[in-house]
Amino acid sequence: MQLDDVSLYALGDSVLVVQFSDSIGPFAHDLVMAFGRSLADCPFYGMVEYVPAFTTVSIFYNPLVLAYEDVQRQVMERLRQLDAEAAPESRIVDIPVCYGGQFGPDLEFVAEYHGLSEDEVIRIHSAPLYQVHMIGFAPGFPYLGGLSERIATPRLTTPRVRIPKGSVGIAGDQTGIYPIETPGGWQLIGKCPVPLFQPTAHPPCLLRAGDRVRFLPITPAEYRELAQDQDVQVCGDTL
């Protein structure tokens, strides 16, 4: 591939970052995915792990085995052979969401803020096929691209101390799902009954960078049923 726009830089003495573009978009995404796949399929000696993000792939390596220049050389060689067309297969993951009420305490606010009905917000939120650009912040937390501007809503003025796991939220033009209980300031519009992070599963997270996500609206009864199933498998996450 052409390497004109790719830049390599060091993040300290044990990370090398490959930056594919200055902006988020399908071009950068496909390259990040293809390069990540190449590293996953064939890790080089001394590589510890890699972290794909919006426009970068960061390679963590063992500096006792490899000097920065060695990693640089290996990465350049690999990039030259990289076939961006051979983007890895993209999975579509359906995420059931029970919107509003106790499941999404801010749905009413989001609807009012945009002068829409709650049903319209739900329809708009569950229409797109979202792109998982990267996973970060918490185990399995997806940075999703594709939220409609019609329901983009600012964060809460005062963040909540505790957001229940599975909560689906909106912050500006981002939407996402909280895989574990954390503090947070997103507008919560619904809750998903399936676990996004299960430490005993392989891999431990439901979503990975490159996946596409679709939100499927479900009823409170369906939520309870799915959450109950989950109790049998995982234990713990109850209403």
By beta-carbon proximity to other proteins, the closer residue of 105 and 139 is 139
Closer residue to other proteins (CB): 12 or 115: 12
Residue 189 near other proteins by CB under 8 A: no
Size of the residue set binding other proteins (CB under 8 A): 47
Position 81: which residue type? Q
Residue type, 113: Y
| Shortest separation between residue 5's beta carbon and other proteins, angstroms | 15
Report in angstroms how near the CB of residue 225 gets to other proteins at its nearest: 25
- Integer angstrom CA distances of residue 177 from 47, 135, 214: 30, 11, 12
What residues between 132 and 151 interact with other proteins by CB under 8 A? Answer: 134-141, 143
Angle CA 152–211–178, to nearest 5? 50
Cα 187 from Cα 198, distance rounded (Å): 25
The answer to whether the CB of 153 falls within 8 A of the CB of 110 is yes
Nearer to other proteins, 122 or 192 (CB): 192
Interactions with other proteins, residue window 18-47 (CB under 8 A): 19, 23-24, 36
Shortest approach of other proteins to residue 108 CB, angstroms?
29
| 169 near other proteins, rule: CB under 8 A | no
- The alpha-helical segments, DSSP class H, found in the chain are 26-41, 68-80, 107-114, 118-126, 220-233
Of the residues 64, 92, 161, 221, which one makes contact with other proteins according to CB under 8 A: 64
Buried b (16+ CB within 10 A) or exposed e, 149-188: eebbbeebeeebeebbbbbbbbbeebbbbbbeebebebbb
- Phi, psi (rounded to 5 degrees) for 162: -140, 120
Q: Is 27 or 68 the residue whose CB approaches other proteins more closely?
A: 68
Region binding other proteins by CB under 8 A among candidate stretches 5-13, 114-122, 152-160, 184-192 = 5-13
- Interface residues toward other proteins, by CB under 8 A: 9-15, 17, 19, 23-24, 36, 48-56, 58, 60, 63-64, 67-68, 134-141, 143, 179-180, 182, 197, 199-200, 203-205, 208-209
